[in-house]
Amino acid sequence: MDKILNKDRAVISSMFNSIAGKYDLLNHLLSLGIDKIWRRKLVKFVKSKRPGIVLDLACGTGDLTIALYKAGLKVIGMDIAEGMIDVAKAKCSNFPAEDKLKPEYLLAPAELIPLEDKSVDAVTIAFGIRNFENRNQSFKEIKRVLKSNGYLAILEFATPKNLLWKGMFNIYFFYILPLIGKIISKDSSAYSYLPESVMSFPKYDQFCKELVESGFTDVRYKSLTGGVALLYTARRADN
């Protein structure tokens, strides 16, 4: 069960707007660059399904959106933090204007996706699902915009099951990471919120059960880096 954290849309967007300028630096630094490997695994899964259009929810500064684009996919990135989207757009500024696959970006919450029913072939979320204000409503919206048999792929942090690895990870995650994040970002709350939000989020089979109860099928997860992150995949039933 989730610990009670303030996931009000305005609070979350304000927090991410405040760290947008340092977000990429901290992501790659604090994960030792492993986050890039995790994203490649998600991209490989999505590309194998040969989607026409991918919706990347909680796209942040566009790392996954752009990785999907570079894999030859048409992607729409969407986020609630305007500052994050501004960074994502800046990363795409040198892409050819005439390129029909060039990423598009939308400023909107996952609870109210401004797209038509059954309009995308896949939905991706990288390290953002735990921040959603209302997951149940978000899943309804994801199912609405997904085509029949379309896929959902989610990357999210977890905690390792191996006790030794879990102990080492927790020292880093709860003490070292927040300190480095605070020093570099100058934000005292964002990088203390991170471990709190991860610990309160359902993991492994518990989150898979939530996806099944929300109407998805073929729900699976793959452990990454010993359980530091998980790749969940699911399919919208053909109905």
Strands (E), 165-228: 216-224
Output the pLDDT for position 162: 94
pLDDT along the chain (239 residues), means of 10: 62 85 77 90 97 97 97 98 96 93 97 98 96 95 97 95 92 87 78 85 96 96 95 90
pTM: 0.92
pLDDT at 2: 44
Q: Quickly count: other Cβ atoms within 10 Å of residue 80's Cβ.
A: 25
Listed residue (48, 12, 30, 31) closest to 130, CA to CA: 12
What topology does CATH give the domain 9-236? Rossmann fold (3.40.50)
> What are the C-alpha distances in Å from 147 to residues 78, 90, 187?
18, 30, 40
Structural domain spans, the chain: 9-236
The pLDDT, as a whole number, for residue 228 is 93
In this structure, is the dihedral angle defined by the CA atoms of residues 59, 125, 236 and 8, taken in order, positive or negative? Answer: negative
- pLDDT value, residue 81: 95
